[in-house]
Every structure is written in structure tokens, then in C-alpha cells.
Structure 1
Amino acid sequence: MIEVQPSQRMRDLGVVQRGVDILAEPAGAFELPAEKGAAEQVIKRLADAMDRIAQAHDFSGKGMGLAAPQIGIARAAATVRPAEAGSEPIVLLNPRITATSEGMDEQYEGCLSFFDVRGMVPRPLRIAVEATALDGTTRIMVYERGLARLIHHEIDHLDGLLYTARMRPGVEPIPVGEYRQTGRAWAYES
């Protein structure tokens, strides 16, 4: 029996893989509330894709995020499912980071668009994010630690960046077979 590689499994589930132009281009913003219906459709497609992906891989330790370009939609929408059981998904429309903490940490990240490797990525421990609601109002939310990492990763996708663009020079991703943290939360000092 031939073993299917993780990236091939994600491709089979409808996740656009690295090398496709849509992942390297900034996503188009929604004009809200005028495009409320279009935004709702994208949010539903993201939720449906995340349901399929969650059946194929355990994300309970770190949570999961998915940006619209990863399912072939060049619009500024992403959804993050926190690792905490029972947490509501975080929907981000037209998000932008407005502030970051000076405090940083560096941990391994994976990406559904090239799931065969994991990369050590420095990120701020705290970010403030402005996003637009379906009614056109904006709000700013603050996220910390693992949730900040997940959300920053997804906003990068909407800006046309993969996590490899944030890795330190000379640091390369490792094969997923060498990664030993699957199913575990990121580690933070108290």
C-alpha cells in the first residue's frame, strides 16, 4: 500500500498547495456591509473545508486556521478554531494587525498548504487585530500566545505570505516525520 503524503492528503481535501499564485498575492478586501452575502458564503466554505480537514488530522493541541486563498478564494477572510474545547471559531474579515508586543517567541508551525514540513517561526506573543464585522463596523481584538500565532499565520496568508518568509535566515523547515509535537499545545513560560 502506498502511503499518501500529508500535503497530498490536504490537496485531496481541497487545500491549495504552495506554488499556486493565489497564495503569493494579497487577498481582496470585502466592502461591508454591501458584500455581506459574499462574505457569508466564503465563511461557510471555510467552515465546511475545516470540517473536512479536521476529520483527516488532529488539531486539538494547537488549534487550526484556514484562510480563503488556501481554498482558492482571493478574498480577505480567515477562520481560526482555537485549541480549547468548546471555543467558538474566530472569523476574520479584512483583518490587519495594528500592534504587536515586543516580546517574541519562536516555535514550530505547520501549514495546510505544505503540510509535509514544519518550520521554526518567530512571532510576537501578543497582537492587536482590527477586523470588519458583516455590518461594516470594525473592532479591535487582542490575542496572545498560541492564538496570536494562529491568527498572525492566517493574516500572513491574506497578505500573500507563507510562514517561511518569517523564518530566520539559514533556518530550514524539517520533515514532518522529524517533528515530535503533533497533538501537543505550544509551550509557553508562565
Structure 2
Amino acid sequence: MVRFASVCAVLLLSVSSLLAESKNPADYPLRFHIFSRNETTFYHNRSAEEAKGEGRGDLYEGGEAKGVDFSFECSEKLKPSFGYETYPAKWHKPGKEITVLLPVFGKTGSFFTCNLKTDVKDFAYAMRSGGRLVSMPVGNFKEWMTKHDYDPEHGKNTPTQPEAGPSEAGTPAPPK
């Protein structure tokens, strides 16, 4: 009986370690930019317990960006990206659910993961001057990325000459 209990304990620990998400950014090959989100935070004894909501962002995969509408239930508040900031990500269920590695604010080097249920679009989102979110063809966004040497999947996290974006009448300047 003791042997059976020991085997069960080892199996339980093995399964739980397999289910735990890695907090190593190197394990997340994709990048995710969060433009906006609406969320409700739930508290227990004055401590934030979880946040639920929805939002919009761009997923950088295979050298191009695609717009994503998403819903989430996270253990901590989800923060929109600042400027051109992107978060490490990986597919949990390809095309349906993505795991994003997010920083714990106020704790340098600490991260938490959040699974986002996704609706991947055939266009990319971009922010126009004045803060208006618009859609644009993936090819146009890719051209902008190439022209401004912007590829967050490969460490090029800040575009060159980002303010030299197209005019209001032309293609919007991504993403900001």
C-alpha cells in the first residue's frame, strides 16, 4: 500500500510539472501586441484574484502580423502593450488558444502566463494618429515592417523611423 501511494505521488507531481507553463521567455517563439482590452477584476479579501475580459491585438508569427480578437481569464490584470512593446507567446491550441508570457509589474524578472481564446483575422490591426484602431491588409503591414526594419519575433523590437509613417489618407502606421 505504501508503495502504491509513493507511485501515485510521483505520478501526480510529474503530471503537475508537465501542466505548469514555463516562465522562460525562450520557450515562447511568437510575439503578441495588445492594443486594447476590457476587463473585470474579481477580488477576495481585498486582493485581486482573477481578471476576465476581451481585447484586440496583433500576433507576430512567421514574419508577419495578424489581427486577433481575444477573450481571457487570467490570474492577474492584463496590461495593454506600451508603444511597440510585444509579449512572448506560443500556441496552446493552434488557431484557437494562445499562451502569453506577461510581466508581473513591480517584480523585475517575474512573469505569469495567461491563455487567450483567439479569433485570428486575415488582416492586421494598426493604430492611426489620434489613437484610432484600424485594420489593414497583412501584406501592407509586412511592407511597413520591412521598410522600418521591425520584426519583434527576431529581436527587432523598435522600428526605424516609426514616425515617418504614411499619411492619414494612406496606409496607417503600425502598431503603437
Question: TM-score normalised to the size of structure 1?
Answer: 0.30
Larger Rg: 2
Q: Which has the larger helix fraction?
A: 1
Of structures 1 and 2, the one with the larger relative CO (CA 8 A, separation 6+) is: 1
Q: Which has the larger strand fraction?
A: 2
